[in-house]
Chains A and B, each alone.
Chain A
Amino acid sequence: MVIYALRRLGTALAVAWLATSAAFVVLRVVPGDAVDATLARAGASEEELAVRRAALGLADPLWQQYAVYVHRAVQGDLGRSLITGQSVTEMIGQQLGATVTLALGALALGIALGTLLGLAGGLGPGTWPGNLAEALASLALSTPVYWTATLAIYLFTVVLGILPGTGGDGFRHLILPVMVLGFHTAGSIAQVTARSIRQTTAQGFVQTARAKGLPERLVVDHILRVGLLPIVAVVALQVGFLLGGTVITETIFVRRGLGRLLLTAINNRDFPVIQGVVTLTALTYSLVNALADVVYTLVDPRVRGEA
């Protein structure tokens, strides 16, 4: 078991390393770097551009840049912004807290709401709570985050005037973004939970339990023990949705965070910053998924034999 866990985490690290190496190569072979974006636009001469490139190490061969990058990255140094000259690690550190708070809040709400809707939809298909739950789940899956956010700001800030809409850092400013992102995170969780519970209900052991006259309360207990397991996997996948969703949410609610940092970097073609944020995202996402696999084998004895 421990060996499996270690091997799974090792694979995740290897995959993340492969992914960031690919990103490194792709982000550097394109024509037009930040030197073009800033100096050339300001009308600098070709020689000045070359001097600046050499100073930033952009003129070295690719393998040399990569070796330097890896050597520094393992020491926690992700390079410097081509625009401001600030350390990328420092820039990420300044924005990380805001994004983590938003993502964790939305994840907690998404798991709670998604499980609740999934239970209602899975245990009572055809009843009104079941239908309502399914309708809400498909609403969460078909409406874009950037639209529900607009509607939420209009309703809670403009019409009702009870919550602040955009800007700000405080707790009250966190409520609406967390609600919006959490609602959308709940969609897939609800859908997967409902489907899993319906499939479990149709299985032999549930029919046996009912046939031998077990009280319905205990039958439901039987169903939930098996039917709720896939939540682990879907939650891990939803972390990927959340990491992308924070970019959009931060833009609409005008919040600080990694998403804003990434968008600004893309517009400035500030590749070290893009690389830093993307690397961190890939690492987080791979580790979360590896962790989910390990947790899954812990809670479900059936897959332990295969692992």
Chain B
Amino acid sequence: MGVNGVRHGRLCLALLLLAGVVLLSVLAPWLATHDPRRAVPADQFAPPSGEHLFGTDLLGRDVFSRTLYGGRRTLGVAALTALIALLPGLLIGMAAGYGGRWLDTSLMMVMDALLAFPSLILALALIAVLGNGVVQVALAVGMAGIPAYARVTRAAVLEARALPFVEAARALGARPMAILWRHIAPTVAPPLLAFAGVTLSWAILNGAALTFLGFGGDIAAPDWGIMLADARASFRIAPWVALAPGVALSVTVYAINLLAGVLAEHPANR
């Protein structure tokens, strides 16, 4: 199998896993066997069985159903987080890379100041300001991701600006916005797409980390981070409570990393 064959195989695996995770989450209301929030104290810590595929937790809630519904919440928050990081990051990076020296210096000074914080610490500091809740988690983690995406965008735009055909377009008198849209945007798209994948997997892990730490609002909600937090108290007697949400998180992040890796190896990115 050649290099292309390997890449094709990886791409298929990544898309298959992602499609599976998204489908299971979207179809949760039809696939779930129980109400994900309903506590049945009599069923506490039931091991996996035909009735409860992945067993039950401390409150007797069905782990299988909670994992399915958890995907909706966890992935929904992650998608929102990624948007909050990507859109401003893209705009700031484009402006800095194309807007001239003064704009570049001042914008990047702010971004560098934000990059002085490790991203999870910055997200925690923001959550201290914003308070608890899912939207707050998305905002905190997303805003913490803006500077990195702005930096990557700026670097790509600067590189594209120096390309011969962009210079040629400028020499021919094309308007700046037209050059940005017709020549630079298509050139920078592949690396920025690959880094968007990295941002998404990072959004899932950090967002779930904040909900795990207890900042995700409603603690009864089905959510992979909350499920893993609940599992801390009970995995010693009922290990299955930690299994499904952990596997779900890892498979999702693995698939996105794989996809980002394939995109980064795209011929346009070398």
Residues of A within 8 A of B (CB): 15-16, 18-19, 22-23, 26-27, 30, 32, 138-139, 141-147, 150-151, 153-154, 158, 239-241, 243-245, 247-248, 251-252, 262-263, 265-266, 269, 271, 274, 278, 281-282, 285-286
Contacts and interface: CB of A to CB of B under 8 A. Distances in A.
B242 A150 contact: yes
Contacts of A138: 254, 257-258
Contacts of B128: 27, 265-266, 269, 271, 274
Contact of A285 (B116, B213, B231): B116
B257 A151 contact: no
Contact of B127 (A15, A141, A266): A266
Nearest to A278: B125
B246 A142 contact: no
B129 A244 contact: no
Interface of B: 109, 112-114, 116-121, 124-129, 131, 201, 205, 208-209, 212-213, 215, 228-229, 231-232, 235-236, 239, 242, 245-246, 249-251, 253-254, 257-258
A205 to B, nearest CB: 19
Nearest to A146: B212
A144 B249 contact: yes
A282 B205 contact: no
B209 A278 contact: no
Nearest to B209: A248
A262 B213 CA distance: 12
23 contacts: A18-B116, A19-B113, A19-B114, A19-B117, A22-B113, A27-B128, A142-B253, A143-B246, A144-B208, A144-B246, A147-B242, A150-B228, A150-B231, A150-B242, A151-B246, A158-B236, A248-B212, A252-B232, A263-B124, A266-B128, A266-B215, A278-B121, A281-B118
A15 B116 contact: yes
Contact of B118 (A151, A154, A241, A251): A241
Which secondary structure dominates where chain B touches chain A?
Answer: helix
B119 A150 contact: no
B125 A27 contact: yes
Q: Which 3 A-B pairs have the closest CB atoms?
A: A244-B120, A240-B118, A147-B246
A141 B245 CA distance: 17
A244 B208 contact: no
Contacts of A286: 116
Contacts, number: 128
A251 B120 CA distance: 14
Which secondary structure dominates where chain A touches chain B?
Answer: helix
A299 to B, nearest CB: 23
Nearest to A28: B129
A70 to B, nearest CB: 16
Contact of A247 (B114, B120, B231): B120
Contacts of A281: 117-118, 121
A243 B254 CA distance: 23
A23 B125 contact: yes
A138 B257 CA distance: 8
B260 to A, nearest CB: 11
A23 B126 CA distance: 9
Of A15, A147, A153, A274, most B-chain CB atoms within 10 Å: A147
Contacts of A269: 128
Of B128, B131, B209, B254, most A-chain CB atoms within 10 Å: B128
A151 B246 CA distance: 9
A248 B123 CA distance: 13
A262 B236 contact: no
Nearest to B128: A266
A266 B124 CA distance: 8
A97 to B, nearest CB: 19
Of B117, B209, B229, B235, most A-chain CB atoms within 10 Å: B117
A282 B117 contact: yes
Contact of B124 (A19, A153, A158, A247): A247
Contacts of A262: 121, 124
A142 B228 contact: no
A262 B117 CA distance: 14
B117 A278 contact: yes
B250 A144 contact: yes
A147 B109 contact: no
B125 A147 contact: no
A160 B265 CA distance: 42
B27 to A, nearest CB: 23
A146 B228 contact: yes
B235 A154 contact: yes
Nearest to B201: A142
